[in-house]
Amino acid sequence: MGHNSDLMTDTLALNSHSWYRSLKAVALLYHWQLIRDAGGLIRSLRIHQEWSNQQHYQVDDNLLAQLIKAWPGNDPGPRIWACLHIGPYGLIARALMLLGHKLAILLRSDVFEAQGQIYRKQFRLSFGREATENELIFIRADQGNPLLKLREALRKNYHLIFFIDGQLIAGQASKGWVPVTLHKSELLLREGIAALSFWTKVPIRAAIMTMVDGQITLRFGEEGRYVNNRSDYQPALQYILDLVGDLAAEELIQWECLPAVFDHELLIKQEQMPLQNLWLPFVVQGKRMLFDLATGRSVVIGIKEFEIARQKFRKIWLNV
């Protein structure tokens, strides 16, 4: 698979933020029992490490051609596209551009400038020029009244791209949040996309893209899910998460939010988890530690013990 095994198992690599995120992501899939054995866990760690180092806003023309071919009949629109940060998700916007749609993209302020530049670059790659405001606009998710601006964009026939996992938490439901479930996890999503569909009578359509061995798989929700009243908010959001729940482990490992979902989980009690323990080495702030994929627990160990654990891990990594 093109891995430098010594690099992947040395102390420097185990000290990276990327490695800690990979441990969390794979531990969550193990908790959900989507991975059954140690070999599967190691393979998933490899995939997550590879995927973490890839560019999710792909410019690969072959992937784009696959996506355009897989796209269903040209939607006249407008549509509210419910997307997630899974796979090369940035290609979805470029595909809609090439299909001739005007786009309105909702972005948080902390990523507004950086991601706005990426989408503008996608447009330039597609058409060789800058986008006009009649073709591509961005709306801040956390300033003013974004729903009013989004409603106006839909009225002007813009397709809306809405990343529903941009705000994803766990805990007690409160105003503005809707409870959803994914495998064994209870999560909360913002109700904004459902409220917007209710107010505008524009349907929601989910689009999720993954990539395995260079091949794209594109999954859509039903033709268009209408939100007719407030009681439809929860089912509308749950149907999107159900699409995520259908993904195989090698696809779900491509979801950027897995480590965040892991962080939101309550401490997993060992007696409730009939899983084989697998302690793997990592380093945080200079502390040498072991992380158990079965329970999510971590412990600090000494330098000698860490080196023994690292060598054992290296053997496992090489033999899977």
If you search the block for the tokens 């897989």, which residue do you land on? Answer: 70
Across the range 257-275, mean pLDDT stands at 69
Closest among 278, 250, 245, 272 to 261, alpha carbons compared: 245
Residues across the chain: 320
Predicted pLDDT of residue 8: 52
d(CA 223, CA 319): 46
Cβ partners under 8 Å of residue 223, min gap 6: 203, 205
* Residue 203 to residue 182: CA distance in whole angstroms: 23
| Span 35-67, pLDDT tens digits | 988 889 999 999 998 888 765 555 578 888 888
What SS3 state is found at 252?
helix
Q: How many Å apart are CA 22 and CA 45, to the nearest integer?
A: 6
What is the pLDDT confidence band of residue 3, given thresholds at 50, 70 and 90?
very low
Cα gap 63→67, rounded to integer Å: 6
Spatial distance between the Cα atoms of 309 and 303, rounded to a whole number of angstroms? 10
Residue 273's pLDDT band (boundaries 50, 70, 90)?
Answer: low
Max CA-CA distance within the chain? 65
- Quote the tokens at residue 270: 């060992």
Structural Rg of the chain based on CA atoms: 21
pLDDT confidence band for 6 (50 / 70 / 90): very low
Q: Which of 133, 111, 134, 136 is nearest to 125 (CA)?
A: 136
d(CA 292, CA 31): 11
Residue 135 has pLDDT above 50, yes or no: yes
Q: Note whether 229 and 236 are within 8 A (CB).
A: no
Residue 100 CA to residue 131 CA, distance in Å, equals 12
Span 86-96, mean pLDDT? 91
pTM score, whole prediction: 0.87
**Average pLDDT for residues 12-24, to the nearest whole number?**
83
> Lowest-confidence range among 78-82, 201-205, 211-215, 273-277?
273-277
Structure tokens at 181: 């479930």
**Which of 1-10, 77-86, 142-151 shows the lowest per-residue confidence on average (mean pLDDT)?**
1-10
Q: What is the pLDDT of residues 204-245, one digit of tens each?
A: 999 999 999 888 999 988 777 899 999 999 999 999 999 999
pLDDT of residue 294: 87
| Residue 291 banded pLDDT, cuts 50, 70, 90 | very high
Average pLDDT taken over every residue of the chain: 86
Give the integer Cα–Cα distance in Å for 113 and 107.
Answer: 9
Beta-bridge partners for 138: 105
3 or 231, which is more confident: 231
